[in-house]
Structure 1
Amino acid sequence: MLAKVFPIPLKPGKQAEAEKIVAEFAPLGPGQEEGTVSFRVYRDPAKPDYLLFVEHFADQAAYDAHTGSPAYQKLIAGQFAELIQEFVEIDHELIVSL
């Protein structure tokens, strides 16, 4: 299993717009992808203009299919990318899951 974590600082005042895009994307992209095991996006109530993505994929090919999908290209690589200050991608290896 491939685990991806993305701490995403947003441009000031873009929280609501970013959340709207992510909510639109979830059922069109990850919700339709066989290799996407989980797709979770968190907000921090104490930290405005910030989202944390935690995603799990069956393997690298599933992640590549996810990022290559039309929904991802339009909504995440397109619209969402314009709202972020910095893109950080962190790979993790799962040790324990309940």
Structure 2
Amino acid sequence: MLAKVFPIRLKDGNQAAAEAIVEEFGPRGSAAEEGTLSFRVYRDPATPDYLLFVEHFADQAAYDAHTGSAAYRELIAGRFAELIVEFVEVDHELVVSL
């Protein structure tokens, strides 16, 4: 399993717009992808204009299919990317799962 974590700082005042795009993407993108095991996006109530993506994929090929999908290109690499100040991509390996 491949785990990806993305802390994302948004341009000022774009929290609601970013969340709307992510909510639109979920069913069109991640939920429709066989190799996407989970797609979770968190907000921090104490930090405006910030989102944390936590995603799990069956393997690298599933992640590549995810980022190559039409929904991803339109919504995440397209509209969502315009709202980002910066993000970090962090790969994780699972140690314990309950």
- TM (norm. structure 1) is 0.99
Letter in 2 for 1:57: F
**Which residue of structure 2 lines up, in the alignment, with residue 64 of structure 1?**
64
Gaps of 5+ in 1: none
Instruction: Verify: 1:4 aligned to 2:12, yes or no.
Output: no
The structure with more strand, counted as a fraction of residues: 2
1:1-98 residue pairs with structure 2 within 5 A? 1-98=1-98
What's the % identity of the aligned pairs? Answer: 80
Deviating beyond 3 angstroms after TM superposition, the runs of 4 or more aligned structure 1 residues are none
Aligned length: 98
Q: What secondary structure is seen at the aligned counterpart in 2 of 1:8?
A: strand
Instruction: Tell me, in whole angstroms, the C-alpha distance in 2 between the residues paired with 1:80 and 1:40.
Output: 16
RMSD: 0.4
TM normalised by structure 2 equals 0.99
